[in-house]
Amino acid sequence: MTSAAIWVFAPILAGGILFLLRRYEKAVAAAGTLIALLLAFLAWRLPFGEALPFLPSLTIQDTLIVLGRQFSLTDADRPYLILIYLVITLWLGGARAARAGKFL
Predicted confidence (pLDDT) per residue in 72-104, tens digit? 888 888 899 999 999 999 998 888 888 776 666
Task: Give the per-residue pLDDT at 7.
Answer: 85
Tell me which DSSP letter residue 9 carries. Answer: I
Q: Which of 1-5, 50-54, 68-72 has the highest mean pLDDT?
A: 68-72
| Coil/strand/helix, residue 81 | helix
CA angle 91, 103, 10 (to 5 degrees): 65
Task: Give the per-residue pLDDT at 64.
Answer: 81
Q: Around Cβ 3, how many Cβ atoms within 10 Å?
A: 25
Strands (E), the chain: 63-66, 69-72
Per residue in 7-62, pLDDT (tens digit) is 888 999 999 999 999 888 889 889 999 999 999 998 898 878 777 777 777 787 88
Residue pair 93/33 in contact (Cβ under 8 Å)? The answer is yes
Task: Give the per-residue pLDDT at 103.
Answer: 62
Task: Give the per-residue pLDDT at 36.
Answer: 94
Tell me which DSSP letter residue 99 carries. Answer: T
